[in-house]
Amino acid sequence: MKKILYILLFSSLIFGSCAKNPEKETGKIRFMFDPGSLKFISSSFNPNLQTMSALYGNQQGISALETDKKTTGIDLKLVTYEMQDDPNYFGSKVNGELVSVETIKTDQMGNLEYGIEFGKVSSDESSDQRIKSILDYQPLKFPK
């Protein structure tokens, strides 16, 4: 019985230490964005740039996307990640390194303000074009 336990212990040490860690291989750490009180609205993928994005917002932001009416209190954040292969599922992609966090907010007059909270945006679009692109997202409808 002791021999079996020793064999199992020894084999778990050998095979356990041979497991690959994709984060160590690439040298990249996967960072997850914390939306805080903002809710998930929609997502998109850009296979040409190998990026994926998630749009988060408050209730006023969701309402503005659904009705095309701009009100005060809008808070939207578009979070963009690089795509990377999922180490657990062959052929699947997951979010990798954080590329950018873009924000759209309204001031007291209801004017939209665009900003980049983190990183760089890979497009040559103006602030107005980026606002239009972000406001073109359609909120996902979840069943109740």
User: Could you list the pLDDT tens digit for every one of the 144 residues in the chain?
Assistant: 555 544 555 455 444 444 444 444 555 555 678 888 999 999 998 888 889 999 999 999 999 898 877 788 899 999 999 888 877 888 777 778 889 999 999 988 888 999 999 888 877 888 889 999 999 999 988 787
Q: What is the model's pLDDT at position 114? A: 93
Token pair 């336990």: residue: 5
Which residues, other chains included, contact 29 with Cβ-Cβ below 8 Å and sequence gap of 6+? Answer: 23, 97
Q: What is the model's pLDDT at position 123? A: 75
- The domain limits of the chain are 22-135
Q: What is the model's pLDDT at position 108? A: 82
The enclosing H or E element of 48 equals none
Structural contact between residues 64 and 38, judged by C-beta atoms closer than 8 angstroms: no
pTM to 2 decimal places:
0.74
Residues 95, 106: Cα–Cα separation, whole Å = 29
Which among 138, 141, 144, 143 is positioned nearest to 43, based on CA atoms?
A: 138
